Amino acid sequence: HSGDASKCPFLSGDQKKTAGRGTNNRDWWPNELKLNILRQHAPKSNPMGEEFDYAKAFNSVDYVALKQDVIDLMTDSQDWWPADYGHYGGLMIRMAWHSAGTYRVGDGRGGAASGNQRFAPLNSWPDNGNLDKARLLLWPVKKKYGNKISWADLMILAGNCALESMGFKTFGFAGGREDVWEPEQDIYWGSETGWLDNDERYDTSDGDLEGHLGAVHMGLIYVNPEGPNGEPDPLKSAHDIRITFGRMAMNDEETVALVAGGHTFGKAHGAADPDKYVGPEPAGAPIEEMSTGWKNTFGTGVLDDTITSGLEGAWTPSPTRWDDEYFDVLLNYDWELTKSPAGAHQWTPTAASNARMAPKAGDPNGKQALMMSTADMALKMDPGFLEISKRFHNDQKAFEDAFARAWYKLTHRDMGPINRYLGPEVPKKELLWQDPIPEVNYNLSDADIASLKKMILASGLSISQLVRTAWASASTFRGSDMRGGANGGRIRLAPQKDWEVNNPSELNNVLNVLEGVQNEFSGTISMADLIVLAGTAGVEEAAKNAGHHINVPFAQGRGDASQEQTDLESFGYLEPLADGFRNYKNSKLKVVAEDVLVDRANLLTLSVPEMTVLVGGLRVLGANYDGSDYGVFTDNVGHLTNDFFSNILDFTYTWSATSNNDTVFEGRDRRTGEVKFKGTRADLIFGSNTELRAVCEVYGANDGQDKFVKDFVDAWTKVMNLDRFDLK
Ligand code: HEB
């Protein structure tokens, strides 16, 4: 409803001919590999410079004064966007929730941790209507504290301050979210080309949503408030709510607590027909709107004339106070389907319910009927949700506790381990969803480490086994939500030990041998550390085989988590369905191997050269998950040579597909016709894609070997330490 279709979105005439415009590679060849996602957030777009240390800046903020300023702002109504009921609390909570609510546990992307609501597409999603005003209202505070508080932190803190200023006790707050300075390009939000216009993303065969998506429509945080596809059916809405909240790892109880807790505050805005009165969203608005959008020409355009979602009214009789009214009115009144002044489906108490009223947003003496959306009605009509709603209705303390915990989880879920949390309001208690890891208290000397390496190399394990296992352990890390990695040693535990990509029986053998080393060692070392050290020893040995006597850095200090500290379901989401670095792709996955290789490289925060050098190195070390020879373009497996690069660039070999779906290839010697090498798409892409080929030429050239070894070791060390926030 928020686009102005009469305005042509395309540039005309000479405007089309300026630098950076024109038909580009992506237009000519839409299937081009998306290497751009490996070079986002470059120093060139960050005004803070590489020296800037946000944690240090945040720790220096006067936190008490900052919070008080945010709380004071809640009731300091501004003429240009006056506060409903004189309190911005509802608006600020919605902003915080929409900031956090884009997180999806499937790939860890989205969420509150980057401040991306400042940029398109999020700043212009229909569901984020008028949140541009919320951020503008916060600007004076942001201005006052400058770099000491990021937008990402400030948006969540504002949500907490809103809750507290309306009488709710929150569970805690942690700072530490660092802003991005350009929109992310790696987050797949869906393929639709219109907002809310269809539900193509539902796979009709299993009724589930496509991929990792966490919303039922493009442009939404979760579900359509009016019901699936605008159909006001609370039971169908319940289905959508379960799927989408589940995608964020919220169970039924957390879901009910969040929706009811949130809708205890504020109101919905639908004073009139949006198509008539509401202008384009920020990204589509004219320059003089100064990054804002949804200009509303109905009446005053604010307070009781506001148009946002199109639904109209408050959920409870006192929308600026924490209380038990939401369940009270939802369960005690009967609700009938009506339409808002904007024409949206919503639910109103029946006359027989003799319901209380809410005040008007701009007039404390005015009265307005209460409202429920179809999604709210799901909490009453769905039997599972109803049971929880009733329990919370009868036990306000339980509701309070559940909402406080769920809000804390919602807003902190993508921050990673608790040692990344900053500020005086971090709860001491560690929660299961934070993937706790016990601290270690040993300190191995150089001599200890040297003797451990000797024991590892004498254990009978091959270089391939050592390297593959360390990689398997460390490479679960996701920069998207800072989860996974080698710390915790969870590769020994369910579910990780049983993942196909980890070749369970082979992994089990390797771990048994390493446990033997651990027992034999006179000192103490965690398995988490030992697994990484084993990889390190393997890489050093392989380098030695190739004539390089090097020391691969090893940072001790990883702890071993227990099975009880490992949430099976939540760790299940970390399972790689593809890991091109080990030439693995699950047969269920219907995408080309090179695309998922780049996806994983992005989660590992690798650059294009880092990805390239790692693949080339891992191949000659024989690190494929199943020990296959795909991409092993060398006669000397276990020697850290640049053979992968020199051979993939060598036109002595001619390649052809051996499978009819172009997934496996063989390289023949042109003269003899003899098959020399085999490879997957995750191998051949390095010869085929011109940017990757350009990097391969650096390592494959005659002067490339030394650089290859150095860069491989650097990238290897980076991956082993991705989750070592304690070192940084
Ligand atoms: Fe919400 C508001 C929907 C969840 C919080 N919401 C709202 C609205 C709507 C909704 C439609 C209106 C907007 C306007 O303004 O118009 N939600 C919804 C849905 C869901 C939800 C569908 C899912 C089921 N929420 C939620 C949560 C939370 C919330 C979870 C938190 C926690 N909201 C909220 C608030 C508000 C809202 C606070 C108010 C705002 C103001 O006041 O402004």
The residue whose CB lies within 8 Å of the most ligand 1 atoms, and thus the one to mutate among 263, 309, 412, is 263
Number of H helices, E strands in the chain: 24, 13
Q: Is the CB of 258 under 6 A from ligand 1?
A: yes
Q: Any long-range contacts for 594-597 (C-beta under 8 Å, 24+ apart)? A: 594/33, 594/681, 594/682, 594/685, 594/689, 595/33, 595/34, 597/682, 597/685
Distance 94 CA to ligand 1 centre (A): 6
Q: Quote the CA–CA distance of 440 and 524 in Å, as a whole number.
A: 10
Whether 1 is catalytic is: no
Query: Considering the chain, what is the average pLDDT of its residues?
Result: 95
pLDDT at 198: 66
Each residue's pLDDT tens digit, 457-514: 999 999 999 999 999 999 999 999 999 999 999 999 999 999 999 999 999 999 999 9
Query: Mean pLDDT over residues 50-73, rounded?
Result: 98
Residue 91 CB less than 6 A away from ligand 1: yes
The pLDDT of residue 1 is above 60: no
Residue 263 CB–ligand 1 contact under 6 Å? yes
- The torsion angle over the Cα atoms of residues 219, 222, 224 and 227, rounded to 10 degrees, is 160
Answer yes or no: is the C-beta of 309 below 6 A from any ligand 1 atom. Answer: yes
ipTM of the predicted structure?
1.00
The Cα angle at residue 98 between residues 94 and 102, in degrees rounded to 5: 165
Atom of ligand 1 nearest to the CA of 267: 42
- Which of the four pLDDT bands, split at 50, 70 and 90, describes residue 212? confident
What are the pLDDT digits (tens) for 101-121?
999 999 999 999 999 999 999
Catalytic-labelled residue, pool 1, 41, 87, 98: 98
**pLDDT over threshold 90, residue 587:** no
Q: Supply the pLDDT for residue 202.
A: 79
* Least confident range of 16-20, 300-304, 538-542, 606-610: 16-20
Q: How far is the CA of 395 from the centre of ligand 1 (A)?
A: 23
- Per-residue tokens: 8: 């042509």
Torsion of CA 396, 358, 260, 413, to 10 degrees: -110
Long-range contacts (CB closer than 8 Å, 24 or more residues apart) made by 517-521: 517/452, 517/455, 517/456, 517/459, 520/455, 521/448, 521/451, 521/452, 521/455
Burial of 345 (0-12, 13-18, 19+ CB in 10 A): buried
pLDDT, one tens digit per residue, over 320-374 is 999 999 999 999 999 999 999 999 999 999 999 999 999 999 999 999 999 999 9
449 is written with which tokens?
A: 């480490």
Q: Whose CA is nearest to atom 5 of ligand 1?
A: 262
Amino acid at 631: G
Whose structure tokens read 């490879």? 679
Report the distance separating Cα 96 and Cα 268, nearest Å: 16
Say if residue 90's pLDDT is above 90. Answer: yes
pLDDT at 6 over 50: no
Q: What is the percentage of the chain residues whose pLDDT exceeds 90?
A: 90
Beta bridge pairs of residue 370: 314
513 or 196, higher pLDDT = 513
Return the pLDDT at 588: 86
CA distance 55 to 175: 8
Nearest CA residue ID for atom 8, ligand 1: 268
Residue 205 pLDDT level (bands cut at 50, 70, 90): low
Residue 603's pLDDT is 98
pTM reported for the whole predicted model: 0.96
Q: Is 639 helix (H, G, I), strand (E, B) or coil?
A: coil
Which of these ranges, 47-61, 77-91, 211-225, 597-611, has the smallest mean pLDDT?
211-225
And the tokens for 676? 């020399």
Question: How does residue 211 score in pLDDT terms, banded at 50, 70 and 90?
Answer: confident
The pLDDT score that the predictor gives to residue 5 is: 43
The per-residue pLDDT for 193 is: 84
| pLDDT for residue 3 is more than 60 | no
Is the per-residue pLDDT at 4 higher than 80?
A: no
